[in-house]
Structure 1
Amino acid sequence: MADPAAGPLAGRVAVVTGGGQGLGRAFAHRLAADGARVAVADRNADAAATVAAEISSAAGGTAVAVPVDVADEVSVAAMTGQVVDAYGGIDVLVNNAAVFSTLAMRPFDEIDPAEWDRVMAVNVRGPFLCARAAAPVMRHAGYGKIVNISSATVWIGRPHYLHYVTSKAALIGMTRALATELGPAGIRVNAVTPGATRTEIPRATVTPEQERAIVAGQAIKRRQVPGDLVGVVAFLAGADSDFMTGQTVNVDGGAAFH
């Protein structure tokens, strides 16, 4: 890790939900490398602690693990209070936590309503609750960045994940409305739509044949990895994107042009 004290996010505080694994873990590492003090927020407290320890053991990285269920208002309020107590504020919120890898592909009329509700609770209510909790802290500072992690599935209408695709489309609408509402307070809100990204999280529903089909449909002929996304999230978290809000950046290797 380069010297975080000289990084573009030095002095900033960043919260990454779902930071205990996958893309969230990668985002947490990159923001810490850029100088941010990172709160690794995850429902799995052990996973969050592991990632925070990884960051803290690196050269100069600063991180704390914070347990949270983003779908629960009380839990989100407690997380926010813990971060403010630890670091004095919140400058960046990356709304990354989502239900996806555990979902089985099935036709929309076979999706159990309880599963639909759980996906909406985590993937839509979660970012809403986290933004609502962080916004007063950002307003007080007169500055803030909210980065919502949506999905490139919304551009292609991927079948057999109707609840997931719908939830991620909702995040784009949320991004635009929040950007308008929070802009006068100095808070920027943007979204990223990642393509199919290979992480350490097992995905039983993605077969080798499906992986080959994913790559074949992209302009860039290789699997996407977390490193393809961290720079975009870091850009949206940093000062270089200060005059950018309400936007959605698609990063999927050219599978969809947006």
Structure 2
Amino acid sequence: MDLKQKVALVTGGGTGIGRATSIALAERGALVAVNYSRSQDDAEETVRMIQHNGGTAITIQADVSRDSEVRAMVNTIVQQFGTINLLVNNASLTHHIPLNDLEAATEAVWDELYAINVKGMFFCARAVAPLMKQQKSGAIVNLGSIAGSTGSGSSLPYAVSKAAVHGLTKSLARALAPEIRVCSVAPGAVLTRWWEGKEEQMKRVAGSALLGHSASTEDVARLICAVLEQESMTGQIITVDSGQTL
């Protein structure tokens, strides 16, 4: 799929991997809707960066864990751009909790992570699916994590939520074929705001990777764009982790 003039929604698009992906899509000629929940300043800065380089982008607020807000967001984007061709389900949340501290994995933590990391991705996919079905073409990338494959990560609930994202990806690929392709990109450790204050831990993780470094947000963004472009792939979980999990 040629991404030029395609309309892309990137959830959590103002920071980290979301920002890098929004910029990469715009560089390929896509019209980008940069979603945010609370990080309005970051989202607006991302849009300014895109516009400065001649791209087209807008910000749009919605809490992806709320279905009504997701549907309203999609309607607003359609009013602005006419349709949605691409969805990058990037919005995610974590809590840093030692895996063996089961008591710290409270019901509130489970509910919050599942509401955003899993249900939010489903709500967004469900909202854009009719548009993509109508135009008989569309692509969705869900941001997974190697935590969903290894069972290890920033917390036990986070790892389980990302395993659920991988399962959701495969189920959506079956449910939405043949018009809509659905894949997951599963990064290893990537230096984003979630690692602020834990840089030494990140260095230890990066040092254990075969390539001796962690992937950058730009590395992940380029892979996301490549997956969106690839018309003969669906239901796949693609890892980008510098060899962490080999």
Give TM class, smaller chain. over 0.9
Question: Structure 2: which 5+ residue stretches go unaligned?
Answer: none
2:97 match:
105
Provide Cα deviations, 1:159-192, integer angstroms capped at 9, x if missing partner: 56111111110011111111111113x1000001
Question: Structure 1: which 5+ residue stretches go unaligned?
Answer: 1-6
- 2:181 is equivalent to residue 188 of structure 1: yes
- 2:227 is equivalent to residue 232 of structure 1: no
In 2 relative to 1, CA 71–54 (structure 1 residues): closer, same or farther, beyond 3 Å?
A: same
Q: Distance in 2 between matches of 1:160 and 1:38?
A: 30
> What does 1:1-258 align with in structure 2 at a 5 Å threshold?
8-44=2-38, 45-58=40-53, 60-100=54-94, 103-106=95-98, 107-158=101-152, 161-184=155-178, 186-199=179-192, 201=193, 203-204=195-196, 206-208=198-200, 210-238=201-229, 241-257=230-246
Structural RMSD (CA) = 1.5
Quote the offset at 1:224 in angstroms: 2.2
Find the residue that maps to 1:69 and give its secondary structure. Answer: coil
How many residues matched? 243
Provide the TM-score with structure 2 as the length reference. Answer: 0.94
Q: Distance in 2 between matches of 1:133 and 1:223?
A: 34
Ranges of 4+ aligned residues in structure 1 off by more than 6 Å? none
Provide the TM-score with structure 1 as the length reference. Answer: 0.90
Aligned residues of 2:88 and 2:143 also touching (Cα < 8 A): yes
Aligned residues of 1:10 and 1:35 also touching (Cα < 8 A): yes
Q: Distance in 2 between matches of 1:160 and 1:203?
A: 10
Query: Between the two proteins, what is the percent identity of the paired residues?
Result: 37
Provide Cα deviations, 1:60-118, integer angstroms capped at 9, x if missing partner: 20001000100001110111011111111111000000112xx2323233212111100
